[in-house]
Structure 1
């Protein structure tokens, strides 16, 4: 069956069925990663065998604070060089690259080495989060299963993203944010065939998380007595702009650091150790900037952070996170972004009117997530699910969107897509309706086709095509051919084929007819097919023009549609975006003008781009 036909439904159910166990595996992988991080942290900083998630904290010898991140960086460099280079980085760009260029194939060793490297990095003091590695690990689980099955690249992508979103949901108990993250960052589409399986995986993962880690919010915030005034809402814009500015600085810092490391005169294997030295120096200045820092985020969001902690996190955490991430070590971005955003918001709370404890820290968190990751809705929903401060939805939306707007105006790409672009890939995250999906073949086709009969002689066929050739190059027009006395089935012939047959005909032989040189039509379209389906079947069969046949019982040829006609939808899209006109004072286009006629030229007195 041709591409674009509705064969998605049974496949969607099949992929959803496979996504459910992927969701359970993602929850188990998240638990294992958190326990592994806790084990390494306890071994390195407290010299005990425990798996509880703890922060390095203050009070350790200076040589341990300085040396542990360096040792961790050395281990990661060795793992990356002799294991797999895919463990470098924070996980999300690597998952995106696997989707874009690798057919959603992830090597099994990534599923093993990525969580181990992240546990070493974070457990030795790295200021990173567990979410990036779990995205790559969960994605690897889904991809490995998909590679064992007979699936298409799009179906492998769905299972990869299902595993990634499942791991995210289990890590933060945030199912809605995990699904939004999948849509905004990984799927590159919003279609039932992928959305339904991802939600199924996330649902299973969240249920499993309840049994494994509990169902309480990670950073609960009380909203009792919360009242947001109009002035507070206006200040949320200010908070968003400030958070967006910090996001711009942080993104700039990460990639300036990466540029600096790339100029070093020795192998990249040693770069994480240098990043570890930066972490160690930062830890000597502000020990609470080390590690995942969930305890610090909790203090910020509940209004219990001191001024020294706010300033220390805002300065030290931002610097050591950006500089060390540029070294190519292993660790996620969300938890550091949560902490940095919470710190900038808490600093704003020292000056802004009091709403409730931690209110402005929540605004800063959502703003920095929206600005750094260019995912404003994910920033809002993440904050709500982390805190369960549901009444704060509108202020969070204002702050996150303001930061997103500033980031888009100032930066060409986000912290995620910049890394993809540096690898020579083009990535867009702006979604809109495909104009090819909005138009039918009947709206753009040539309604006056030259229809030949199989019994027509070459001379009469050439005369018919010549009269309507319109000056187009020979061989570029396709002519439908129908049986004598019937309307279907349809064959096709080109003017070039007619001329070639006429030049080679034997004067002494029988007179050739169109039936001798026509061929069955590889593609037949219907008037109510969309241009998107036309583009699919053109690509599938390698053709650039096709006859258009009406529905039964007549099935007459009603037109032809060519590749050039598909550009009409793009022209209409450009007109909708750029053609500005005043409609209240005068009507420049009659109401009954069809869509295929109203945009070929601007109205009098108007101009495109005005």
Structure 2
């Protein structure tokens, strides 16, 4: 862990530099596309005063370039980044290619800089993950260690983008690491805090959306926060469904996928012509919504245009992040809620709308809560944030089988389920499931006696433990071992104790079922004898593959058997055998 923690420092530095570089690239492309200027300042396309024909044409040119880069560079630059990182973690041993680290930020800068309604965070997450993975491939590391560095780079990229190191670390736990262990959590946290520490010097100081307002969530506000969570979950579900319906339509087009981004960019150009504020990342619009500077019909127009642009262009396979659009649309939803919800805190609802959308789409409720706190540096809305996020999470889970982050992987034939639960094998000891009272064979008999008495046509057991006169285990013998002896011309009159290997694979009663299951898989065994301890080889029993299924029987009973212990003085139980 110490080695990974040290490497995580350099991963965090690299991720912060990637974030800075992508911001500069986006600024350059934006100025070149919409103003014909050479400038690296990060700005919105809408403030550059581009003529209509530029707004219509620039996104299409960007889409053409991205399609060419994906076709002749690498297809892995397509998408918003997080599903691609998940796929690398789960199915490619956390290995990412060098050209992904080079082409992904370039393609994203082109997509966003030419007006694409995306955030910079998705490409930064993907590129940071690629940097971490590449560093892991330089050294002799396990797949788990590479995964830790990949996730460290990805989440450090998010921390550098939004100055949210705690939320970025929690995102790793809720979404990317698939475990909560010090070996991975500590390096990821180090990388995130290093990247966030460098952000003021590279990108700028202070929270991205500071809210200097004190909220007082009373009972009515908390009740309406739950309603806001319902609306956010519904909108998140609707947009997720629209994205994949739109993607299905693109797949039906009679043209190569290389041209899809250019076709999708037509919607961006038209949308930018109707509502220029919908172009680009949209941080300025989010700030206006959070501070109440955008109201009424302006919000409605913005939300309709932004959502259609985002859905169509993202489903075309271009490159860009989803967090910023979700924040913008969620803040817009909250701005509309503020017009109708009771109370004297209108600025609360755009904040709640943001986290409701984020939770509904990503299904990471606690990350969303901390993300809002760090993004605004305002903790007074915490009770309302908790209510909104949990309700939005419930609505999303109820209405959608998968989130937008895992649906893409599932469509490639690989299901990803992110629910955390207790590892039943980890929490049951061998002594709770092993088979006792087993038949053993004395080591003093001959090979011939063993074959005649235990491996004849009426063979009762597949294997037998062999013990010495004191009942201590020598080894386990089965028909395969017997056949090997005969192939090696071992004399049938040889005594078992003389021909057996006396270094057997064993298990101990207090070991977890998980550790023994791993040992059984590595050694390619279907049963392992259980002895008292490493120094005391007295045989206690046998653990088989079937025995290792017993913890899951307990799990099934806990999940399916419903019991009542009070009422009429009887104990009643009902079993639900549905899977």
TM (norm. structure 1) is: 0.90
| CA–CA separation in structure 2 for the residues paired with 1:113 and 1:605 | 60
Residues 241, 480 of structure 1: alpha-carbon distance in 2 compared, 3 angstrom cutoff: same
| CA–CA separation in structure 2 for the residues paired with 1:292 and 1:605 | 56
Task: Determine if contact 1:240/1:367 at 8 Å carries over to the other structure.
Answer: yes
| CA–CA separation in structure 2 for the residues paired with 1:96 and 1:460 | 57
Cα RMSD for the two superposed structures: 2.5
Q: Which residue of 1 is the match for residue 94 of structure 2?
A: 104
Give the alignment of 1:258-269 within 5 angstroms: 258-269=247-258
Q: Which residue of 2 is the match for residue 596 of structure 1?
A: none
Helix, strand or coil at the partner of 1:450: coil
Q: Which residue of 1 is the match for residue 505 of structure 2?
A: 523
Cα shift at 1:427: 0.7
Task: Determine if contact 2:295/2:335 at 8 Å carries over to the other structure.
Answer: no
Q: Which residue of 2 is the match for residue 424 of structure 1?
A: 413
Give the alignment of 1:52-201 within 5 angstroms: 52-57=41-46, 59-201=49-191
Cα shift at 1:307: 1.6
Task: Determine if contact 2:448/2:492 at 8 Å carries over to the other structure.
Answer: no
Cα shift at 1:171: 0.3
Q: Which residue of 1 is the match for residue 334 of structure 2?
A: 345
Is it true that 1:383 corresponds to 2:369 in the alignment?
no
Task: Determine if contact 1:465/1:495 at 8 Å carries over to the other structure.
Answer: no
Residues 503, 386 of structure 1: alpha-carbon distance in 2 compared, 3 angstrom cutoff: closer
| CA–CA separation in structure 2 for the residues paired with 1:143 and 1:34 | 22
Q: Match for 2:216 among 216, 227, 232?
A: 227
Residues 503, 292 of structure 1: alpha-carbon distance in 2 compared, 3 angstrom cutoff: closer
| CA–CA separation in structure 2 for the residues paired with 1:552 and 1:260 | 63
Helix, strand or coil at the partner of 1:310: helix
Helix, strand or coil at the partner of 1:189: coil
Give the alignment of 1:400-549 within 5 angstroms: 400-457=389-446, 461=450, 474=459, 477-485=462-470, 487=472, 490-494=474-478, 511-515=493-497, 518-520=500-502, 522-549=504-531
| CA–CA separation in structure 2 for the residues paired with 1:262 and 1:517 | 66
| CA–CA separation in structure 2 for the residues paired with 1:354 and 1:525 | 64
Cα shift at 1:607: 3.2
Residues 141, 604 of structure 1: alpha-carbon distance in 2 compared, 3 angstrom cutoff: same
| CA–CA separation in structure 2 for the residues paired with 1:176 and 1:165 | 10
| CA–CA separation in structure 2 for the residues paired with 1:439 and 1:485 | 29
| CA–CA separation in structure 2 for the residues paired with 1:124 and 1:228 | 41
CA offsets 1:576-605 (integer angstroms, 9 cap, x no match): 1111101234898xxxxxxxxxxxxxx765
CA offsets 1:368-423 (integer angstroms, 9 cap, x no match): 00001111112111111111121111111111111111111111111110001111
Helix, strand or coil at the partner of 2:381: helix
Q: Which residue of 1 is the match for residue 199 of structure 2?
A: 209
Is it true that 1:256 corresponds to 2:241 in the alignment?
no
Q: Which residue of 2 is the match for residue 595 of structure 1?
A: none
Q: Which residue of 2 is the match for residue 5 of structure 1?
A: none
| CA–CA separation in structure 2 for the residues paired with 1:106 and 1:424 | 20
Helix, strand or coil at the partner of 2:464: strand
Task: Determine if contact 1:81/1:269 at 8 Å carries over to the other structure.
Answer: yes
Task: Determine if contact 1:114/1:133 at 8 Å carries over to the other structure.
Answer: yes
Helix, strand or coil at the partner of 1:266: coil
Residues 306, 60 of structure 1: alpha-carbon distance in 2 compared, 3 angstrom cutoff: farther
Q: Which residue of 2 is the match for residue 607 of structure 1?
A: 575
Cα shift at 1:94: 0.9
CA offsets 1:460-495 (integer angstroms, 9 cap, x no match): 6579869xx9x9x9586332223445725x311126
CA offsets 1:204-232 (integer angstroms, 9 cap, x no match): 111111322333110011223x2111011
Question: Between Structure 1 and Structure 2, how many residues are aligned?
Answer: 577
Helix, strand or coil at the partner of 1:418: helix
| CA–CA separation in structure 1 for the residues paired with 2:428 and 2:569 | 24
Q: Which residue of 1 is the match for residue 566 of structure 2?
A: 584
Gaps of 5+ in 1: 1-11, 589-602
Q: Match for 1:558 among 533, 536, 540?
A: 540
CA offsets 1:18-61 (integer angstroms, 9 cap, x no match): 11111011011101111111111122112222222111116431
Deviates more, 1:34-43 or 1:431-440: 34-43
Residues 558, 314 of structure 1: alpha-carbon distance in 2 compared, 3 angstrom cutoff: same
Task: Determine if contact 2:81/2:126 at 8 Å carries over to the other structure.
Answer: yes
Helix, strand or coil at the partner of 1:493: strand
Task: Determine if contact 1:240/1:403 at 8 Å carries over to the other structure.
Answer: yes
Gaps of 5+ in 2: none
| CA–CA separation in structure 2 for the residues paired with 1:494 and 1:71 | 70
CA offsets 1:274-308 (integer angstroms, 9 cap, x no match): 11111011111111011001000001111211223
Task: Determine if contact 1:77/1:271 at 8 Å carries over to the other structure.
Answer: yes
Cα shift at 1:112: 1.0
CA offsets 1:241-298 (integer angstroms, 9 cap, x no match): 1011100111011111111111111111111001111101111111101100100000
